[in-house]
Amino acid sequence: MEGVHRSSPTAGSVNVERAENSFHELSRQLTQGTAVDDEEHGAEDTRVRPKDLEKGALDLEQPFDLREYLTSSNDANESAGIKHKHVGVLWDDFHVDVVGSSDFKIHTFSDEAWQFWVAPFFKLRSIILGLLPSRVKSDVTRTILHKSSGLLEPGQMCLVLGTPGSGCTTFLKAIANERQGFYHVGGDVRYAGIDAQEMAKTYKGELVYNAEDDIHIPTLTVGQTLNFALSTKTPGPKGRLPGISRSEFNASVKGMLLKMLNIAHTENTLVGDSFVRGVSGGERKRVSIAEMMTTRARVQCWDNSSRGLDASTALDFVRSLRIMTDVLGQTTFATLYQAGEGIYDLFDKVMVLDQGRTVYFGPPDQARAYFERLGYRSLPRQSTADYLTGCTDPNERQFAPGVSENDAPSTPEALEAAFQNSDLARDVADDLSKYKLRMETEKIEQDAFRAAVADDKKKGVPIKSPYTLGLKDQVVALTRRQFQKRLQDKFQIYTSYGFMTILALFIGGCYLNLPPTSAGAFTRGSVLFVALLVSSFDAFVEMPAQMTGRPVIRKQTDYGFYRPAAYQIANALADIPFSSTRILIYDIIIYFMTHLDRSAGRFFTFHVINYTAFLAMQGFFRTIGLFFSDFHSAYRVAVSIFPNLILYAGYMVPINQMKRWLFWIFYINPVNYAWSALMENEFQRLTLACDGAYVVPRNTGNAAKYPADLGPNQVCTLFGASPGSATVSGRDYIKAGYGLDADDLWRRNFIVLVGFLVFFSITQTVVIEIFPQFVGGGGAGFFAKDTPETKKLNAELITRKIQKAEDEKQEKIRAIDGIKTKGNKNAFTDRKAFTWERVNYHVPVTGGPLQLLNNVYGYVKPGTLTALMGASGAGKTTCLDVLAQRKNIGVVSGDILIDGRALDADFARETAYAEQMDVHEGTATVREAMRFSAYLRQPFHVLKEEKDAYVEDMLELLELQDLSEAMVCSLGVEARKRLTIGVELASKPELLLFLDEPTSGLDAQSAWNLVRFLRKLADSGQAILCTIHQPSSLLFESFDRLLLLGKGGNTIYFGDIGNDSDVMREYFARNGAPCPQNVNPAEYMLEAIGAGITPRIGDRDWKDIWLDSPECARTKTEIEEIKREASTRSQSVTTKQSMYATPIWYQLRVVVQRNTISLWRSPAYVFTRLFSHLIVSLFVSLPFLQLGNSVRDLQYRIFGIFWVIVLPGLIIPQLEPIFITNRLTFIREASSRIYSPYVFATGQLLGEIPYSIICAVIYWVLMVYPMHFGQGSTGKSGTGFQFLVILITELYAVALGQLIASITPSIQIAALFTSPIQIILSNMCGVTIPYPSLGKFWRPWLYQLDPFTRMLAAMLSTELTGLKITCKPEEFALFNPPSSQTCAAWASDFVNAAGGYLDNPNDSAGCRYCQYKVGDEFFLPLNIRFSNRWRDVGIFFCFFVFNFIATIIASRYLRFARR
């Protein structure tokens, strides 16, 4: 956000003089030449460098003669024998092909479901065909960069120009040897005579590409970011001046870069991103520039790296490139949007592309004359870069008088042919052949380059390695960085340690002080299993983490900082200090609270095993995350494996009970070995006293005749018990119950566990090294399938487009010729004017309030277009936010009025604000997005047909005809910007249109088209206030008035611009800053006030000049006149003010319709959700197929039902990102009062319901039928009741996930809540820990508040009631009655009190007792009643309703949008 100065007083634009000075001070590689020429601006004594927050303290240093310094620096390097790296770039018949068409149909859920099952067969077919030697490639390809030839020698710069989609980015990436994502890159490309293959293999760090987006680790500071980059690229001893150590070299180069780019004040500030507050956007761009400069690469490609910089800062940046290229002999390619004449003149070559075809390559000073000779009209008032790009745009180019497109080359093919037949092309071919011959014969530059690169490498690094450091040193540098990254992410540290500690306390409290008796035997196994699962599956968060960091890894590996394997090794090492202490705290709490075997040896063995299991599972999830390109594909695999890890660990299903065709999973399951080792460690020296429920028969209920201690006529039913023995050895217990041998602890289980750890460590390293899943940008568009309506509408738009084209050409001719088409500004006096007076804005910062706006005055009249401009950091966006009522922090004072009256509650609805960030619903089409705005923002009484017709007009005016059915997420920067404006215009704002930098990121032609359209809107009566960057003189003159802000939010000028900017020129000339006629006044005024590195003109501050000027007084008088005239007009009778334009039921209908379409077009999410239900239910059912009536089968029925608890854990992690992403769109839409937050929350839930029903059906079918449910008294009708409960569980999970997302600010934080909530609820439901065993602390409140309590009660009672139990022979408890008594006589009292049955009541020996007779006997002790099942379902449903209502309330009050 502009205007927010963070800390240092030195924030500002690039300081070439001071920067380059330091840059070359230290580095033989970075020595540069040609300082900024002092004569460029003159050496006027009247220029004073201002002291302000952005530029820093007064700089009284003497001017630095950069050329003289660099000359001496180079002499020193040459004297030391340090070689230079000069790399000329030659390309011959260079072309790029990609697979398929540029346009694809939108992928929907039905497509995903079908392709999932058939894709493996097509993949197999392609593999088989690929193995056939005679196979000819039959892939459908298209050429996006056609054959081109050229040469750029060391010390030269090439500017690449073209309209969006012409192939500029493709050329830069391909020439930088970044060929990932392209099907084929053909032709011969040589770098100092070295072919592209060798460069990629051995010298890839010498060719670098700087992307348009800024990609960094947000939790590192600027200094740490540069320290790391330098640590991986520090030259060896032969590459440094004698006596300069590595640390001294790095410190000096870093200091130079920070000073050169004027970001020294940010060294200790976090880089930041959208979620982490850090440096400003312009400063972050300069960090990206500095990072790439640390590579010391000799071929540099800059892709629109001036985006977001104002005109003066952009010029300073290109001047820096010029100096570096001159002195270092670099080879520099750059594409820049809206390049002014000052920037254009700094280049040696210019390349013009048209739909991937080279239509010009040659000297910049001959380019304009070349196109004029082809028949294009001379347009001297247009910048050369703008003119050249316009010649390739059919909608913009102008032909010379008497020439038409039939006479001059006008198609890309014709323009390419014309160039190939020109003298310029022949000169290129001649230079090419000479350079080739020189490279093949002399090889001086090539040998010097190879030797210089070899000298750069640290000792011991192979010469053919593309890296400066070896693997060990890369790992050391990366480990240090990753450790810093984790250490500085305080919130992550606090939350991860906090949640693990809370979970440990919770688990310890649930199993508090387990007795060393039979009553504590099974629960000891339970606590070990739960503790293991919680710690092991805590590593699940590693899977999505592998994807979020990929852009940084890709950029830095392309820069040659390190190899991917080094990153993965370092990441694992840096995590150990944090994970080891976190797991240690967790283990200590659980181990001693639960009263496990309290000996040092047992505890540390427990900890070592648990932590080793954590590391193994961490490696497992990291491997999955690295192997797949997207989260949903990885999640499907993880979900497929997840139930098997739990079911086949040996705890739920002992190995001897596993299906013979599935038990092999047991042996490849790392959880099995970990849990087995924990059990063996705990029980190997434990002796359990047999008592309580494990004695049969015993005193219980009314039965009181049995011995208190285990007698000869009683039996201990604990696994491993011996007849007549009152104790059970722990070894015997785990041997009989689970088939575990305590001697296997170290000789098998731990060794295998370590083997898994080593295996997954290797797999993740191999996967990232050999199969890196770096998804590149495709540039392909996705379009909705045509319907009869859209076919008709699109045909009409194309017809209108053709008819309109000629009118637009004539309009631009008139504008270029200086013929104004502005409307009468006084023709709309009946409309309301917008005024502001004495506007001040303060924000809270450390150290006290900071003032960002200072007594700003101004107005916008209907029918006028007002520009808001200023120096970097002057507060342009801040001012616009304040005036548009978008600020929700800080203090705003002053009067902001409409027609002299205070703003009404419907102000936000009656205005439109096209913000700088283009936030939209990504799955909608362009037409759908604009219709959505029109339906909900235009008055409800306007007919739908009228709104649709108006949207079609907007599509035409914004030239979005060809993209009307394009998916928003596939739009380019320029098209997305136009859509942002279109969405706001579709609302037909009655009062005012605000636009924040609408031309940022656009090329010159698109910027002109946009401002031309705004001019038309203003001429039709619309009031418009617009911030703008880097306007050309032609663009600037389209505005009526200018509000110019200086540092600190001070007004520098407000008033008319005038024809040819004469009014504004006169003001500045009168105050000592006359603007030369051949200079763009929009750029000159910024230089005059000291916005760039150039000192301001004059000895007075321009804000003081303004306050004393007659123009300031006239502005205040005009505001008073506007208010006076407004007060004399009769106010129309206003209707009742409404915050929204449409009723809430209509809002809900439109929003739900959009959400439904969005989910249908989000197949990865929807199908993954269905797939996870299918696979979990299937894998859970497989071990429990066709259950019978034994006690073991009873337990398996319970396990099968218990797995329903897992459903929220499957749904919530997938749903939270969807909700939070949609909330970002809602925050933008809510600012304009499009629809209510209640509608947003309701719409999110209603959109999920159809898929929740499908998921419930899938899970239910694969649960009840394979496991043979419905054998109790409820019969098959009971399975229908089970479906109802599962459906409510689905709805509850959706509502809970949305509630968690609604109360958390980001996806990362929301994900932290899922596991703790799931663990707590699953343990407090009265089944995992039986209700009688629940602690008195939990039972009165948490047990009752647990939704799973009601869900399991309803499902268990329905399935088990009336289910007859028949014990298998091995399930009976065998005992002998006293002599002369039958089994019934001895045990009938016990059986009547405890339940179960005697299989042989009349026998006098070998009594067989079965624990259960009917299923009711299992659930009745758990406080579950069949008669309460409908009550339980009703309460469960109420939990869903509560979650839904809470989500609505949270959506209303918690939006986490501070601005």
Please write the tens of the pLDDT for every residue from 425-449: 999 999 999 988 888 888 888 888 8
**Which helix (H) or strand (E) is 1044 found in, with range?**
strand 1041-1046
The pLDDT value given to residue 5: 35
Tens-digit pLDDT profile for residues 845-884? 777 788 889 899 999 999 899 999 887 667 888 899 899 8
Tell me the C-alpha distance between 1447 and 1310, whole Å.
14
Tell me the C-alpha distance between 330 and 324, whole Å.
7
Comparison of pLDDT for 960 and 1441, the residue scoring more: 1441
Comparison of pLDDT for 820 and 513, the residue scoring more: 513
Residues 6+ apart with CB under 8 A from 745: 605, 677, 680, 681, 684
Residue 167 is classified by DSSP as S
The pLDDT value given to residue 1302: 92
**Strand ranges across the sheet with 1041-1046:** 901-902, 891-898, 834-845, 848-860, 1050-1056, 1041-1046, 865-870, 1024-1027, 992-996, 911-914
pLDDT of 90 > 80? The answer is yes
**What is the CB neighbour count within 10 angstroms for residue 631?**
21
1055-1059 average pLDDT score: 88
Instruction: Sort residue 1423 into left (φ over 0), alpha (ψ -120 to 50) or beta.
Output: left
CA distances from 199 to 93, 196, 205, 446, 715 (A): 19, 5, 9, 12, 79
The pLDDT value given to residue 1006: 72
Q: What percent of the chain has pLDDT over 70?
A: 88
pLDDT of 739 > 90? The answer is no
Is residue 191 classed as helix, strand or coil in its secondary structure? Answer: strand
34 band by pLDDT with thresholds 50, 70 and 90: very low
The pLDDT value given to residue 6: 35
1249 band by pLDDT with thresholds 50, 70 and 90: very high
Tell me the C-alpha distance between 1314 and 1212, whole Å.
7
Of 1031, 998, 991, give the one whose Cα is nearest residue 1014: 998
The pLDDT value given to residue 42: 34
Instruction: Name the residue type at position 616.
Output: A
Beta bridge partners of 300: 208, 332
The pLDDT value given to residue 77: 62
The pLDDT value given to residue 45: 33
Q: Dmax over Cα atoms in the chain, in whole Å?
A: 129
Q: Which two tokens stand for residue 859?
A: 């107005």
Gyration radius of the chain over CA positions: 37
pLDDT of 823 > 60? The answer is no
**What is the CB neighbour count within 10 angstroms for residue 605?**
21
Tell me the C-alpha distance between 1227 and 1217, whole Å.
15
Tell me the C-alpha distance between 197 and 174, whole Å.
12
Of 978, 587, 959, give the one whose Cα is nearest residue 801: 959
Tell me the C-alpha distance between 818 and 1059, whole Å.
9
The pLDDT value given to residue 29: 33
Whether residue 381 contacts residue 341, with contact meaning beta carbons closer than 8 Å, is answered with: no
The pLDDT value given to residue 807: 59
Whether residue 47 contacts residue 1095, with contact meaning beta carbons closer than 8 Å, is answered with: yes
Tell me the C-alpha distance between 53 and 51, whole Å.
7
pLDDT of 391 > 60? The answer is yes
Tell me the C-alpha distance between 1141 and 1137, whole Å.
10
The pLDDT value given to residue 12: 40
pLDDT of 39 > 80? The answer is no
Tell me the C-alpha distance between 274 and 278, whole Å.
9
Tell me the C-alpha distance between 559 and 211, whole Å.
12
Q: Which two tokens stand for residue 855?
A: 């007594």
Tens-digit pLDDT profile for residues 675-699? 999 999 999 889 998 888 888 898 8
Of 992, 991, 990, 994, give the one whose Cα is nearest residue 980: 994
Of 174, 150, 146, give the one whose Cα is nearest residue 92: 150
* DSSP per-residue string spanning 976-993: HHHHHHHHHHTT--SSEE
Tens-digit pLDDT profile for residues 332-380? 999 987 788 888 999 999 999 999 999 999 999 999 999 999 989 887 7
Taking CA 711 as the corner, what is the angle to CA 706 and CA 713, rounded to the nearest 5 degrees? 80
First-to-last alpha carbon distance for the chain, in angstroms, is: 8
Q: What percent of the chain has pLDDT over 90?
A: 31
Instruction: Name the residue type at position 93.
Output: D
- Report the relative pairing of strands 992-996 and 848-860 from DSSP bridges: unpaired
Instruction: Name the residue type at position 565.
Output: A
Tell me the C-alpha distance between 1415 and 1393, whole Å.
16
Instruction: Sort residue 826 into left (φ over 0), alpha (ψ -120 to 50) or beta.
Output: alpha
pLDDT of 645 > 90? The answer is no
Taking CA 290 as the corner, what is the angle to CA 286 and CA 293, rounded to the nearest 5 degrees? 140
Tell me the C-alpha distance between 241 and 76, whole Å.
8
Residue in the block written with tokens 């090439």: 158
The pLDDT value given to residue 635: 85
